[in-house]
Amino acid sequence: MRDILVIGGNRYFGKRLITRLIAAGDRVTVLNRGSSAPPAGAVHLVADRNDENSLGKALGSRTFDVVVDQVCYTPRQAEIARRVFAGRTGRYVMTSTVEVYEYENTAGLVREDAVDPRTVTVDLELPWQDTEFLDAHYGEGKRQAEAVLAADPAFPYVAVRVAHVLGGGDDFTGRLDHYASRIRSGEPIAVPAVNHPATYIHVEEIADFLVWAAGAEFTGPVNAASHGLLSTDELCEAVAAQVPEGKTVFRSVEVGEVSPFSFTRAYGMDNSRARRLGFTFGEARHWLPRAVAETLGKGN
């Protein structure tokens, strides 16, 4: 039986991760600010992960085989975590994002070495505590958080760079609802003049991936994405199948805000490292109709 700590993880694929770990027989502790209780079977610790004293006091003398950090968004948070968990865990899995590749633009799929966290500049003086700043610099926050963890060669970290997640009736993002409402009303869907496809992963698959990553032995960054790129057209086709009375109309824009899942740059992720390490991905086009049906409430 492993002792596993999950920081955050009370919604969406985090809930699924915790449920899977408990079902596998792991002793699971969930740490959050106390806003919601973890799934049944988990130990609950309450602390502010931004406060090093609060975090250390809540943990006490506990040690863990694995820590899965679902809510590390800034280099400041990563610095606290690295100090607190050094010597306290055998493995530290940080949930990162495809957005670390926000400066990449390639015709091919992007590999992990396109962003080496050991070469990323860290600026702890930026206003990471400001919500608006953090929202506008989400990818950069994750890049710098990875860099802080990578700076200590002895710290056994993994950064799971997660593709855009789809599926589940509890998808709280509203991104597919954005398309459904416009298709239903015939309102134009704004897309870039040159609109690139992207990589995605199903909510159940990323939960499986994180369980697998927790039990593996590799370290460093790893991309987590289903096989195949999906375009905005394909997403809308799947949404339209659930909204048969609607009409899909695209409006190409040169500047200004565009719809979710429409991209001015190409940065689909190469998943070959994870495959070589032993994880088997599904095909995005195979699960897309089910994912859309789940989220729009017609697949439950």
| pLDDT given for residue 135 in this prediction | 94
The pTM for the full model equals 0.95
CA geometry: angle 15, 17, 18, nearest 5 deg: 65
| pLDDT given for residue 298 in this prediction | 55
- For the chain, what is the mean pLDDT? 94
Give strand ranges (E) for 119-274.
157-162, 164-166, 189-192, 198-202, 220-224, 229-230, 250-253
Decide the pairing of beta strands 229-230 and 198-202: antiparallel
pLDDT (average), residues 268-292: 97
* DSSP helix/strand/coil, 50: coil
| pLDDT given for residue 299 in this prediction | 45
* DSSP helix/strand/coil, 56: helix
Residue 16 has pLDDT above 60, yes or no: yes
Identity of the highest mean pLDDT range in 24-28, 106-110, 265-269, 295-299: 24-28
* DSSP helix/strand/coil, 96: strand
Residue 76 has pLDDT above 70, yes or no: yes
Residue 255 has pLDDT above 80, yes or no: no
* DSSP helix/strand/coil, 75: helix
| pLDDT given for residue 300 in this prediction | 38
Enter the CATH code of domain 3-168+199-227+267-282: 3.40.50.720
Q: What is the pLDDT of residues 161-187, one digit of tens each?
A: 999 999 999 998 899 999 999 999 999
| pLDDT given for residue 105 in this prediction | 82
| pLDDT given for residue 297 in this prediction | 87
Q: What is the pLDDT of residues 256-267, one digit of tens each?
A: 788 999 998 888
Consecutive H or E run containing 276: helix 272-277
| pLDDT given for residue 198 in this prediction | 95
What's the full length of the chain, in residues? 300
| pLDDT given for residue 36 in this prediction | 83
The residue to which tokens 């859309």 are assigned: 292
Residue 44 has pLDDT above 60, yes or no: yes
Of the candidates 202, 253, 251, 261, the residue with the CA atom closest to the CA atom of residue 231: 261
Consecutive H or E run containing 31: strand 27-32
| pLDDT given for residue 39 in this prediction | 86
Residues 6+ positions from 72 with CB-CB distance below 8 Å = 7, 78, 81, 94, 95, 142, 145
Q: How confident is the model at residue 254 (pLDDT cuts 50, 70, 90)?
A: confident
Q: How confident is the model at residue 69 (pLDDT cuts 50, 70, 90)?
A: very high
Which runs of consecutive H residues, i.e. helices, occur in 106-215? 131-136, 138-150, 175-185, 203-215
pLDDT (average), residues 85-89: 96
Residue 87 has pLDDT above 50, yes or no: yes
Q: What is the pLDDT of residues 131-172, one digit of tens each?
A: 999 999 999 999 999 999 999 999 999 999 999 999 999 998
CA distances from residue 67 to 53, 165, 194, 281 in whole angstroms, order as listed: 18, 22, 41, 23
